[in-house]
């Protein structure tokens, strides 16, 4: 299956096909110097499959985990590109999850003022979400994605076969973003989660989720208006992420998708739908009940970049497949997070 992203300056294809990693050379020009970036947790055969199709490919393997999205690793990769004699007409390819995609994409965006980039995402999260949209970045210490750019890939190659090696919890983590896509835009996608085995339907789930993201990103390439819909669950989710800690960095932390899953629940205005969503979470193995300190999360959200002048903009889902923006006083957030009962500040669970 092929989707084409139509953007003002650059357009590119997203290829979604089982075994597609073996065909990258037929889809992109690999007859040049290629720096292939992967990480130590990604089975080495995936980067090797891509390298075997390059005229002159060099694989660089960074340590797995969010910590590799750093300026230090970024500098190492720039050096590796220089050592491999990459010129302006050469290519950087990411083979891995969102960490590798964000990092390698940012290297491509900046090396010699920007060279070609292709992305071969290998996690559900990166196949559904992070590989599309052109956002590339590294973190500054614990602050995520502060140094980055918009840099569109030349091509995205999604091979669902690579998901076979992904640990179950990682697999489910990314599916939270697909549930999100269904809730804001695609009732049929949400229905798949209710009725079917997501592992069996993974190609359709990926395809439908990508279509939702494509539609929204095409309307709003640089993140000013419509793209806010993709933040559904994320404002609260980021607060939870900051307080509970990100798994990988903290031992009992949550993954991003798990935080988003929890962050979506209070933003669903239809109680019946919220019940159905919880049932989907239980089926998938996503957290369905808040296991976080609500007061700490609320305090964290006061510092959220979207909180301006005591107001915060939330994405709400009034019914399945639709969304709206709601600018509310920060206090209204307390009400949402606690549900109906409103304990005094400081009485968080
Ligand atoms: N650019 C964007 O628009 C955007 C959007 C959402 C998230 N992100 C970023 O994405 C990152 C998270 O991405 P992620 O969830 O893919 O995490 P990740 O890249 O850390 O991958 C998760 C783990 O799975 C391993 N792995 C990857 N592919 C595998 C495979 N096929 N088989 C076995 N193991 C595999 C990795 O080594 C890693 O340990 C974060 O840094 C986040 O900021 C970016
Ligand atoms: Zn997300």
Q: Is 119 in the pocket of ligand 1 (CB under 6 A)?
A: no
pLDDT at 347 over 70: no
Q: Is 70 in the pocket of ligand 1 (CB under 6 A)?
A: no
> Looking at per-residue confidence, does 274 or 308 come out higher?
274
Q: What is the pLDDT of residues 158-182, one digit of tens each?
A: 999 999 999 999 999 999 999 999 9
Taking residues 209-219, report their average pLDDT: 88
pLDDT at 275 over 90: yes
Residues contacting 75, CB < 8 A, separation 6+: none
Ligand number nearest to the C-alpha of 130: 1
Please say whether the beta carbons of 161 and 19 come within 8 A: yes
Residue bearing tokens 């590796």: 80
Atom 12, ligand 1: residue with shortest CA distance: 98
Pocket test for ligand 1, best of 18, 65, 123, 134 (most atoms within 8 A of CB): 123
Q: Ligand 2 mean position to 33 CA, how many Å?
A: 33
Tell me the pLDDT band of 277, cut-offs 50, 70 and 90: very high
E-assigned strand segments in the chain:
2-5, 12-16, 33-39, 56-62, 91-96, 116-121, 135-140, 143-150, 155-158, 307-308, 311-319, 322-329
Mean pLDDT, the chain, as a whole number?
Answer: 90
- State the architecture of 2-164 in CATH terms: 3-Layer(aba) Sandwich (3.40)
Q: What is the pLDDT of residues 177-195, one digit of tens each?
A: 999 999 999 999 999 999 9
Q: For position 249, what pLDDT does the model report?
A: 61
> Looking at per-residue confidence, does 221 or 289 come out higher?
289
Q: Which of the following CATH numbers is that of domain 168-338: 1.20.1090.10, 2.60.40.1180, 1.20.1260.10, 3.40.640.10?
A: 1.20.1090.10
Taking residues 333-343, report their average pLDDT: 69
pLDDT at 72 over 90: yes
pLDDT at 284 over 60: yes
Atom 30, ligand 1: residue with shortest CA distance: 166
Residues in the chain, how many?
Answer: 349
- DSSP character for 255? P
Tokens of 141: 């210490």
pLDDT at 19 over 80: yes
pLDDT at 327 over 60: yes
Q: Ligand 2 mean position to 177 CA, how many Å?
A: 6
- Phi/psi for 146 (5° steps) reads -80, -25
Q: For position 125, what pLDDT does the model report?
A: 96
Q: Domain locations in the chain?
A: 2-164, 168-338
Q: Which of 190, 219, 207 is nearest to 283 (CA)?
A: 190
Q: Ligand 2 mean position to 314 CA, how many Å?
A: 15
- Adjacent-strand bridge partners of 57: 34
The DSSP annotation for 60-97 comes to EEEPSSGGGSSHHHHHHHHHHHHHTT--TT-EEEEEES
Q: For position 158, what pLDDT does the model report?
A: 97
Q: For position 340, what pLDDT does the model report?
A: 56
pLDDT at 341 over 70: no
pLDDT more than 90, % of the chain:
69
Q: For position 349, what pLDDT does the model report?
A: 37
Q: For position 305, what pLDDT does the model report?
A: 53
């Amino acid at each position: 299956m092929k989707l084409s992203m139509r953007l003002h300056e650059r357009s590119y294809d997203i290829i979604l096909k089982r075994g597609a990693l073996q065909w990258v050379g037929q889809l992109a020009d690999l007859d040049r110097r290629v720096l292939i970036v992967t990480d130590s947790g990604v089975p080495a055969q995936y980067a090797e499959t891509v390298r075997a199709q390059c005229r002159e490919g060099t694989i660089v393997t960074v340590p797995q985990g969010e910590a590799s999205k750093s300026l230090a690793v970024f500098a190492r990769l720039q050096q590796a590109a220089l050592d491999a004699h990459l010129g302006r007409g050469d290519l950087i390819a990411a083979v891995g999850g969102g960490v590798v995609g964000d990092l390698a994409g940012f290297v491509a965006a900046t090396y010699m003022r920007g060279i070609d980039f292709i992305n071969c995402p290998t996690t559900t999260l990166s196949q559904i979400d992070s590989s599309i949209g052109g956002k590339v970045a590294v973190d500054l210490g614990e602050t995520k994605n502060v140094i980055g750019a918009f840099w569109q890939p030349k091509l995205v190659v999604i091979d669902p076969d690579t998901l076979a090696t992904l640990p179950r919890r990682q697999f489910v983590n990314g599916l939270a973003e697909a549930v999100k896509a269904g809730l804001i835009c695609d009732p049929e996608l949400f229905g798949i989660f209710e009725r079917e085995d997501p592992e069996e339907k993974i190609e359709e789930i990926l395809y439908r989720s990508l279509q939702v993201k494509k539609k929204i990103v095409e309307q709003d390439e640089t993140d000013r208006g419509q793209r806010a819909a993709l933040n559904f669950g994320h404002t609260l989710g980021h607060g939870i992420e900051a307080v509970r800690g990100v798994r990988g960095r903290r031992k009992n932390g949550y993954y991003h998708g798990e935080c988003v899953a929890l962050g979506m629940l209070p933003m669903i205005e239809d109680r019946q739908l919220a019940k159905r969503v919880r049932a989907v979470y239980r089926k998938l193995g996503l957290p369905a009940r808040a296991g976080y300190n609500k007061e700490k999360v609320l305090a964290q959200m006061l510092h959220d970049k979207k909180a301006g002048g005591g107001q915060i903009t939330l994405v709400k889902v009034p019914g399945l497949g639709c969304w709206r923006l709601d600018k509310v006083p920060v206090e209204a957030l307390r009400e949402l997070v606690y549900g109906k009962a409103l304990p005094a500040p400081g009485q968080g669970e």
